[in-house]
Chains A and B, each alone.
Chain A
Amino acid sequence: MTDGQERVYCPVCQAKFRFIDGWREGDTVMCPICGQRLTLRSEGGAWTGDRVDAMTEKEIRDRAENFAKLRGYRFTDIKEEVIEGLVGKQKRFGDFYCPCRMLHTPEYQCPCKPTRGGDVERNGRCHCGFFWGSDYRSWIAPCGQLSTHVPQPVHFDSSNAGAKVRLSMCMAPVGHVLTTGQKGLLSQTILSNMTCIVIEEPMAHRLDMVLHE
Chain B
Amino acid sequence: MTNPSPWLTNQRPTSNLADVLERVLDKGLVIAGDIKVCLLDIELLTIKLRLLVASVDKAKAMGIDWWEHDPSLSSRHQKQLAAETAKEVSS
Chain B associates with chain A: no
